[in-house]
Structure 1
């Protein structure tokens, strides 16, 4: 059978937030755009994420009384990135990020709110902001998508109450910290979910889209308005090259091979986190694909396609790390973004010792876990903690709702009547764990963590409990029975990949541009280097460089 052919101005591989932003900006510039997606549903890991963006100097910051500047942002980023990221790439992100956000709010359905108290992750560094750089998408009504809503990748299960009700990042902070009004918020979310009778008759999936679903839903509606086609179940198999220039890709669609010719190609198809082979080749060991909470279809296809055409790579040993737990029956891990930070919970290694501040950012937590002797680690907490706070799929015991959970979730914790008994069950040094808990309890009583300074900066306090004093991040572990669970050095995606310049053009091993080829998001080496500057630092740069790539293509891509 003859190979089918299709021609467009721009081919976008992947349907996450960065890819959709590139497609939307290009469509507004008058280009004929096609999006192809490997999976059966669109949105990728962006749809399952928190949906937040980290955009320094964004136009929403003044609304919450926070001032920012280009100089402050670059000072902060340069300390984190060192020599790992080209200066011009950092400047491109800081300069174009605010412009991208404002353009989207003026030309699409995308709407964001500033998060006043969501501090940058490294508060000790010059240029760190106490809040405002991280922004949260407004909820969106799925009815505006029509039947296309059914093709939207669902939220990650851990971003929904009991697997049903979504919440925004701001609402989540209120619920987890038991801030004033938290119970009324629970009732409000439940009412909105269960009173949507037409929605409940169709599925359990909430039609109040939040977090990553809100962002992707808004972008998808905007693309539908511009009549940009999106092919699902259509993996890209290889790039087409003529006279040294990328001019399209070979796509599999409906059992047929389609040669899509294009002026330019943007790769935005995620990282290689679910390829065990690539993880073993590049990432620190031990490593397992099921420790990742990213989309299971992210297997590095376009990384390999880029390598086939001579692309250079960078930061291949890095990921957007996060402490993870795995649950039976789920196709990806859950991240302990908040649980380890709530008062009355610690993490220890096999020797029964704490080895870091449990309230630090998730990437920093795993960097501590990757040191010798700290993998696996164990979360330790008591009955007071379990009664007051959620853990993984389990709601606080005080809500008396865990009887509704699937039976497999009720056995995820190791339980014992004493710390000694818990240590024996885990195979952890018993005397050492008892000493660790006793010492931590002393810190909780005095309100100061003399070992790791937990609860002493704005980020630590984000997931403290405002009812606990003198330190909202510290509470004793003393009320039996006691609980534990094994924790792994997981991730929400890899962050090493193809090397790009400030225009998102892919570079070869000589540092020269591969004409016609652009890449963004987790397909590329991250503009934030080896660190995670703040919430939304995955999607913020992905969307910014998608926007930058589209404008560059519209200006410079030649006619076929």
Structure 2
């Protein structure tokens, strides 16, 4: 397009979006001498990254190697090719595997970002060749948010589900130990609570922990790193299009303070503004049906596909448009977005059924595969699996969490919000009564529970193999025998919660090459235009190889894009 308004400013590179990938690219660009501007649509920075787990999937990383871990690029490539199949060009896979370890080693050496290896967090497909039982996922260390000063007010707040008691920071390693009830888990929780309670000075300022963890830690440490480099970040700046001259992208148009501005980018534009999951029209155009943007666990009003539409206007190719980073969600009355249900599905004593009362997948399966199975079963059953229902008994309710319901031993039903009953959860003395309340076939549910109770006794799930691999068992209760993911449903009252076909972002987007350049249908790059993160077609194809399979590539191709821009000067 041709600019119609007067150019207001010029930078070497303009980055659209303020998630982990976008901010990582700005850090690397600034360190190579580029002047950089980040523009962010929202009044908060951090995007979906800030409410995520913050993990990054980095095969052959130096943290794992230092602890004696054994991984190689070839082994990881074997695994990725088995997972992604023919959906991704091998050159992109190799670019990711070659650059991911370099990215994190450089970033942690030169910035405020700090990670530790999650040694016990397995790859999501342990049955595939090249998979590892742990070591490829990195977990952010805690970050002191007082270092942000006034910028702390602009940080997107983490989801309550990522905080202990809704306000205390803990790492994924802490959460795993507590949820799996590993040795010393009660002492760990007590220590975290005491650390929070005894921070009297910070308590007078905020009800939230001084420390950030997970995605909040990653984003906060990146923002502090940008502050160290004096990189400007404009909030409330809505990206509206790309400017191009003679086939090269040379800038962007934005709306700021109610007026349109054209910003010149001397060397290029990096799009890192998320996917299109918050655009209902685009969901209906591309994603499986039924689909609703209010099932998504991402921030409402953001990730509306602006980068996708701008790239298409420049002739960009796309891929994987019918896929998302699926994750089942539960809507909580009064909260701005639903909560993703990740670990809880592996806890023993809860099952998920369709409206026929039948299971349709191993409940502990990776979240992408779980929602994919919802859609597949929905098609086979004629619309009986979207939504699905998670069912559990009084024993489960006493001992385990499910979404916003903390274990009854710390949050009994009498302390739950009254408006949650029959909106967030349903409760009955018998399975038959519960089935009638939620519109599920009672006989089907009774038969399913009878079968699962038998499976819990033997420890073998012949239908779906629940608890039969190292990934399933990661969040299972290590004290439950013979299968940490299976327990009978026998003790009333019985509970149900609605589970929607949600997501943590879309997977399809602008197609890029091994240098993170956006390409046209003929494979030729659009000069000056790069895309990273969820506005680009995922390098993982239709798979989700491990925890951090979204942010790891976003940050890696941020590093790749910065290096490619530097090579073109």
Give TM-score, length-normalised by structure 1. 0.97
What does residue 384 of structure 1 align with?
395
Deviates more, 1:9-18 or 1:253-262: 253-262
Among 278, 286, 295, which residue is 1:282 paired with? 286
Q: Secondary structure at the match of 1:423?
A: helix
Quick one: which of 462, 477, 483 aligns to 2:489?
A: 477
Aligned mates of 1:116, 1:180 — CA distance in 2: 16
Residue 346 (1) aligns with residue 357 (2) = no
1:404, 1:438 → 2: CA distance? 31
> Is residue 66–residue 131 contact of structure 1 (8 Å, CA) maintained in 2?
no
Partner Cα distance (1:398, 1:326) in 2: 23
Q: How does 1:15-94 map to 2 (within 5 A)?
A: 15-94=18-97
Contact residue 49 and residue 211 of structure 1 kept, 8 A: yes
Q: Alignment partner for residue 529 of structure 1, among 541, 550, 558?
A: 541
Which deviations, in whole Å up to 9, do the C-alpha atoms of 1:47-80 show, x marking residues without a partner? Answer: 1100000011111113444211111111111111
Q: Does 1:505 align with 2:517?
A: yes
The match for 1:186 among 179, 189, 196 is 189
Q: Distance in 1 between matches of 2:345 and 2:180?
A: 13
Q: C-alpha offsets along residues 202-223 of structure 1, whole Å, 9 cap, x if unaligned?
A: 2323221000011111111111
Q: Secondary structure at the match of 1:281?
A: helix
Per the TM alignment, residue 402 of structure 1 is displaced from its structure 2 partner at its CA by 6.5
* SS of residue matched to 2:500: strand
How many Å separate the matches in 1 of 2:412 and 2:167? 14
Secondary structure at 1:10 match in 2: strand
Q: Is 2:7–2:264's contact at 8 Å kept on the other side of the alignment?
A: no
CA contact (8 A) 2:279 2:305 kept: yes
Q: Deviations over 1:343-363 (max 9, x none)?
A: 001111111111111111000
Q: Which one of 132, 137, 149 corresponds to residue 134 of structure 1?
A: 137
Q: Does 1:172 align with 2:183?
A: no
Q: Does 1:429 align with 2:434?
A: no
CA distance in 2, matches of 1:113, 1:503: 27
Q: After the TM superposition, which residues 411-560 of structure 1 pair with which residues of structure 2 at under 5 Å, given as runs?
A: 411=422, 412-557=424-569
1:166 deviation in Å? 2.2
What is the SS of the residue equivalent to 1:202?
coil
CA 1:63–1:88 in structure 2 vs 1: closer, same or farther (change >3 Å)? same
Is the partner of 1:535 in helix, strand or coil? coil
What CA distance in whole angstroms lies between the structure 2 residues aligned with 1:242 and 1:87?
32
CA contact (8 A) 1:393 1:409 kept: no
SS at match of 1:60: helix
Deviation at 1:400, TM superposition (A): 4.2
| RMSD, aligned α-carbons | 1.4
Aligned counterpart for 1:211 among listed residues 207, 210, 214: 214
Is 1:417–1:480's contact at 8 Å kept on the other side of the alignment?
yes
Instruction: Give distance in 2, aligned partners of 1:230 and 1:526.
Output: 26
Q: For 1:369 and 1:354, how far apart are their aligned partners in 2?
A: 10
Q: Which of structure 1's runs of 4+ aligned residues deviate more than 3 A?
A: 1-4, 400-411
Matched, 1:395 2:406: yes
Q: How far apart in 1 are the matches of 2:420 and 2:49?
A: 26
Task: Provide the C-alpha distance between the structure 2 equivalents of 1:235 and 1:156, rounded to a whole number of angstroms.
Answer: 24
Helix, strand or coil at the partner of 2:352:
strand
**1: CA distance, partners of 2:472 / 2:84:** 22
Q: Alpha-carbon deviations, 1:438-463, whole Å to 9, x = none?
A: 11000001111111111111100011
My pick for the range that moved more, 530-539 or 293-302, is 293-302
Structure 1 residue 406: Cα displacement: 4.4
Are 1:309 and 2:341 counterparts? no
How many residues get paired? 557
Superposition pairs of residues 129-278 of structure 1, within 5 angstroms? 129-262=132-265, 263-278=267-282
**Secondary structure of the residue that 1:450 maps to in structure 2?**
coil
> Partners in 1 of 2:268 and 2:362 — Cα distance?
46
Task: Report the 3-state secondary structure (helix = DSSP H, G, I; strand = E; otherwise coil) of the residue aligned with 2:327.
Answer: strand
List gaps (5 residues or longer) in structure 2.
none
Measured in 2, the distance between the counterparts of 1:409 and 1:203 equals 27
